[in-house]
Amino acid sequence: MPIPASVTDAATSNFAALKCPHCGEMYLHQENVTIYHRAEDARYTVVMAQNGHDMVVTKFPSEEVMNPSSRRHGIVIEFWCEYCNMEYTSVDSAGNETQMNKGAEPLKLAIYQHKGYTLMEWV
């Protein structure tokens, strides 16, 4: 079940930062990005997917792709959260903590067209 995305209050911080859907903190780090380019109800969708430092561009039948939009364009951005996805493994003599990623599934934010709106939700 998708979770609506929320941001911090821009009126109090001069910016709006995306909040983690699990802990509510705003220390999210971006990872892979996938872009789905589809004209309204087009038979084919052009998918631009990150593969390491490269982008792979491929055209697929629209019914075969994981586009968050059922009819138009969509974007999926993966994130990891400093609070949910990290654990502290050691502290050196200066008191600095070394962090290790827990290897949890990345958080996925979908931004997509739906009936004239641009929706943002965690999928």
Residues at the contact surface with Zn ion, assessed by CB under 5 A? 20, 22-23, 81, 83-84
Closest distance between Zn ion and the C-beta of residue 102, in Å?
11
Shortest approach of Zn ion to residue 13 CB, angstroms?
18
Radius of gyration of the chain (CA): 17
**CB-wise, 20 or 110, nearer to Zn ion?**
20
> Which CB, 7 or 56, lies closer to Zn ion?
7
Closest to 106 in 3D by CA, of 46, 31, 10, 45? 31
Q: Which residues contact 85 (CB under 8 A, 6 or more apart)?
A: 101, 102, 104
Report, in Å, the least distance between residue 84 CB and Zn ion. 3
DSSP 64: G
Residue 81 vs 120, nearer CB to Zn ion: 81
Residue indicated by tokens 């075969």: 64
CB of 61 to Zn ion, least distance (A): 36
- DSSP letter assigned to residue 18: B
Identify which of residues 20 and 120 has a Cβ nearer to Zn ion in the complex. 20
Query: Hey, what are 74's tokens?
Result: 């969509």
Rounded Cα gap, residues 86 and 80, in angstroms: 9
